[in-house]
Structure 1
Amino acid sequence: MGAPVAACAATNAAAVLWCEAGRSPASAARAQQFGLTPVAALRDLLDRSDIVISLCPPAAAEDLARDVAEHGFAGVYVEANAVNPERMVRIAELLKPVAAVVDGGVVGSPPVRGKTPTLYLSGPVAATAQIEALFAGTAVQTKTLGREVGKASALKLSYASFQKTSRVLVALAVGMAREHGVDQELVEIAARRTDSYLAEPEYIAKTAARAWRWGPELEEAADTLAAAGLPPEMLRAAASTLARWNDTKDGELTLTDALDRLAQP
């Protein structure tokens, strides 16, 4: 994601730099492919930059921010990694008040071959406006959610929790079906429905009302996975989540009631 996003920034920036210290040959090849300008050390990059965009594996995000803070960077720092809101706040505290910190979350595929991801932003008004201007007219769309640091990260992880877990669930479902020779039939059933469950939040209340019987069904499915040598933990976790609604058996709940009971069983 980092290199093609940086290449989009080059449309409106005087230069887009990347630090080659400690990076792999593959990273160097991507940077070269997208026309980024290399610098030898992080200090060189920070001394020459008004804006820093951090796009790296989440586990490295806090350490990178700490390194940037130690150099006294005083520009706009965009923390665009998939970190949770609490970690986002910690990162902001590392860099403030010297730097202006913008919370960012990229939703969508890398901006290549016609793809147009959205970079969601939250933070100081002047700083988010700079990032909007940086990507204006490029394949990276921007949308500002407000001034509160943590909003963009929360949105990113809310979407990722559904999207990525759904892909894993597909692997488990197809794996289970293949073990019993019915994988093609499973795909045919699924092909009859193309809507995303994520676009149907009103169904959460119906899910809660059915939890008392859906949970045991998923436990049975988990046992089937285990018998096939496939990992059952995800379905057991789903059954455990459904158990929070067990006392609403076939009840009439609103969406708000269902979500409240989920959060505070």
Structure 2
Amino acid sequence: MDRPTVGILHPGSMGAAVAACAAANATEVLWCSEGRSSASVARAGQFGLTPVTTLTALLDRCDVVISLCPPAVAEDLAEDVAAAGFDGLYVEANAINPERAIRIAGMLGPAATVVDGGVVGSPPVHGKSPRLYLSGPPVAVTRLEQLFAGTAVRTKGLGPEIGQASALKLAYAAYQKTSRVLAALATGLAREHGVDQELIDIASRRTASYLSEPEYIAKTAARAWRWGPELEEAADMLAAAGLPPEMLRAAASTLARWNDVKDDGELTLTDALKQLVQP
């Protein structure tokens, strides 16, 4: 099996742990210590990554480079890699939208081969096993699947198009992370009125994710004319409690796009989603 030299940009909590998994099937895993914090140095040492002093030195030695950095700097980092003339396999694994992933592929191509990636789950430590979704050239995707074979990082190819993995990552993140914020608002609202424990009791009776029930979207659309005003009332309560109401007002505004399908029992999921994109 191919045992490439791998570079990680940069070893944050996710990047360092993912890179350590790649080490199982790599000749060596490098990271660039130039300009990095003492916390990064310690983390890289903890995971057994080999330091090099400059980005150029890393790129000269690596066959595969994995970019896992703050989303805001993903393109700046890709520009630096492109300027150095990297011609290996570049994994754009940041939480960025598909358009940005496509731009990055354009920056690096045709010299480098770019695969779009999206990590869903917690860092692969203490028994956690995230999934790395991949999209791009099939041969390159297969090579990455081999790189992580037998490790805590599970891989899944989605197709040949750059942007597919990024789209999946952000679609899931939009639900998962917004749900956490909504939970905070609901708990804060209930606590303001001394009923937070009762709220938790209600929620504990239901453990399934609404995201796993797409058939309910059509029912939501049919009830939107009632749910929207209810959320406006809840938003007023949040404001009265000193909590931010904007998220619930935005949800009410979204529901208003379904006002024309009031109590439509024949509405399908496809119809509901089409209605949602109409202003």
TM range (shorter): over 0.9
Structure 2 residue 190 is matched with structure 1 residue 177: yes
What residue in structure 2 maps to residue 261 of structure 1?
275
| Counterpart check, 1:83 vs 2:90 | no
CA RMSD of the aligned region, Å? Answer: 0.6
TM-score normalised by the chain length of structure 1:
0.99
- Report the secondary structure of 1:143's partner residue: strand
Report the equivalent of 1:65: 78
Measure, in 2, the Cα distance between the counterparts of 1:130 and 1:47.
20
Deviations 1:106-126 (A, max 9, x none): 001110011110000000111
What SS does structure 2 have at the residue aligned with 1:105?
Answer: strand
- Tell me how far 1:23 sits from its aligned partner: 1.1
Deviation at 1:92, TM superposition (A): 0.5
Residue 40 of structure 2 aligns with an amino acid whose one-letter code is S
Q: Distance in 1 between matches of 2:38 and 2:218?
A: 50
1:8 corresponding residue in structure 2: 21
Task: Please show how residues 1-265 of structure 1 align to structure 2 within 5 Å.
Answer: 1-252=14-265, 253-265=267-279
Q: Percent identity?
A: 77
Gaps of 5+ in 2: 1-13
Letter in 1 for 2:158: L
After superposing on structure 2, the runs of 4+ consecutive aligned residues of structure 1 that deviate more than 4 Å are none
Unpaired segments ≥5 residues, structure 1 = none
User: Displacement, 1:264?
Assistant: 2.3
Higher mean C-alpha displacement, 177-186 vs 21-30: 21-30
Q: Deviations over 1:191-243 (max 9, x none)?
A: 01111100000000000000001001101111111111111111111001001
Alignment partners' CA distance in 2, 1:11 and 1:48: 18
* Equivalent-residue separation in structure 2 for 1:36 and 1:129 (angstroms): 24
Which amino acid letter does the alignment assign opposite residue 102 of structure 1?
V
Paired residue total: 265
Q: Over residues 46-65 of structure 1, what are the superposed CA-to-partner deviations in whole Å (9 max), with x where a residue is unaligned?
A: 00000000001100101000
Cα distance in 2 between the residues matched to 1:264 and 1:31:
48
What is the rounded CA distance, in whole Å, between the counterparts of 1:244 and 1:122 in structure 2?
33
